[in-house]
Amino acid sequence: MAHSQSVILQTILAAIDRRHEIVDIVFDAASEDDALAKIAELLNVDQVMAGAVLDQQFRCLLPERRTRMTDQQNALTT
């Protein structure tokens, strides 16, 4: 299933909002598949979107990166 850039950004921004839970999932996961399943459940997304979250670098947590992603997401939905 192909996801729009807006949906991807929305999911990543949701993951950033829940970053502490995401980090706990990653640290406690028995495997990558386990982490993907738990992230998908937490964010109510499919495994592809969970993979997009898992593929993010910590750099995306920087304030200027978050602002840029929020601006992009807003531009795509207005």
Say if residue 1's pLDDT is above 70: no
Task: Delineate the domains of the chain, giving CATH numbers in brackets.
Answer: 5-77 (1.10.268)
Please write the tens of the pLDDT for every residue from 13-43: 999 999 999 999 999 999 999 999 999 999 9
Considering the entire predicted model, what is its pTM? 0.83
Please write the tens of the pLDDT for every residue from 42-64: 999 999 999 999 999 988 888 99
Mapped to the 3 state alphabet, what secondary structure does the chain carry? CCCCHHHHHHHHHHHHHCHHHHHHHHHHCCCHHHHHHHHHHHHCCCHHHHHHHHCCCHHHHCHHHHHHHHHHHHHHHC
Residue 2: pLDDT band (50, 70, 90) is low
Residue 11: pLDDT band (50, 70, 90) is very high
